[in-house]
Structure 1
Amino acid sequence: MSREIPAADERYEVLAQQQLGVEELEDLAYELREKLLRLCGTYEGAVHIGGDLSVSDILTVLFQYGLRVDPSDIANPTRDRFVLSKGHAAVCMYIAMSQRGFFDYDDIVATYGQLDSAYGMHPCKVQLPGVECSTGSLGHGLPLAVGMALAARGRGESHRVFCLLGDGETGEGSVWEAVMAARSNALGNLVAFVDRNRQLMTSFAEERVVFEPYADKWRAFDWNVIDADGHDMTELVGAVDALPAPDQRRPTVVICETVKGKGVDFMERNLAWHAGSLGSEDLERALAALAAARATSTSREKEAV
Structure 2
Amino acid sequence: METGLKNDFQPTEAEIAHLRDRAQFVRLETIRLIEIAKVGHYTSVFSAAEIFAALYYDVMTLSADPKWPDRDRFLMGKGHAAVGLFPILADLGYLSVELLNTYTRLGSPLGDHPDMRKVPGIDFSSGSIGHALSNGLGMALGGRMQGRDFTTFVMLGDGEMQEGQVWEAALGAAHHRLDRLIAIVDRNGYQLDGAVDDVLGIEPLDDKWRAFGWEVHIVDGHNPAELTAALRRAKADRSRTKPCCIIARTAKGKGVSYMETEPGWHLGYLDPSDADAARAEILSQVI
Question: What TM-score results when the alignment is normalised by the length of structure 2?
Answer: 0.91
How far apart in 2 are the matches of 1:183 and 1:130?
Answer: 27
Q: Please tell me the residue identity of whatever aligns with 1:233.
A: P
4+ runs deviating over 6 angstroms: none
- The answer to which of 72-81 and 185-194 deviates more is 72-81
1:217 alignment counterpart: 208
For the Cα contact (< 8 Å) 1:52–1:92, is it kept in 2?
Answer: yes
Deviation at 1:246, TM superposition (A): 5.6
2:84 alignment partner in structure 1: 92
CA distance in 2, matches of 1:154, 1:160: 13
The answer for the alignment partner of 2:227 in structure 1 is 236
Say if 2:153 is the partner of 1:162: yes
Contact 2:154-2:184 within 8 A present in 1 as well: yes
Given that 2:37 and 2:105 are in contact with CA atoms closer than 8 Å, whether structure 1 keeps it comes out as no
1:155-304 alignment runs, 5 A limit: 155-243=146-234, 244-245=236-237, 248-292=240-284, 294-295=285-286, 298=287
Looking at CA atoms only, which structure, 1 or 2, has the larger radius of gyration? 1
2:129 pairs with 1:138: yes
Cα distance, 1:74 vs structure 2: 1.8
Q: CA deviation at 1:98?
A: 2.2
CA–CA distance in 1 between the matches of 2:243 and 2:166? 14
Q: Distance in 2 between matches of 1:269 and 1:150?
A: 40
Structure 1 runs not aligned, ≥5 long: 1-17, 299-305
Alpha-carbon distance, 1:179 to partner: 0.2
Preserved CA contact (<8 Å) 1:165 1:194 = yes
Measure, in 1, the Cα distance between the counterparts of 2:113 and 2:75.
Answer: 12
Cα distance in 1 between the residues matched to 2:34 and 2:249:
24
> Residue 22 of structure 1: which of 1, 10, 16 is its match?
16
Mapped to 1, the partners of 2:56 and 2:257 lie a distance apart of 26
Residue identity over aligned pairs, in percent, reads: 35
Q: Decide whether the 8 Å contact of 2:90 with 2:96 is kept in 1.
A: yes
Residue 126 of structure 1 aligns with an amino acid whose one-letter code is R
Opposite residue 75 of structure 2, the aligned amino acid is: V
Deviations 1:117-137 (A, max 9, x none): 111111101111221121110
Q: Compared with structure 1, are the counterparts of its residues 128 and 182 closer, same or farther at alpha carbon in structure 2 (3 Å cutoff)?
A: same
Query: TM-score normalized by structure 1?
Result: 0.86
Pairs aligned (count): 275
Structure-2 residue corresponding to 1:303: none
Moved more, 95-104 or 132-141: 95-104
Task: Choose between structure 1 and 2 for higher RCO, CA contacts under 8 A separated by at least 6 residues.
Answer: 2
Partner of 1:5: none
Deviations 1:275-296 (A, max 9, x none): 111111111111122123x14x
For 1:234, the aligned partner's letter is: A
Q: Helix, strand or coil for the counterpart of 2:191?
A: coil
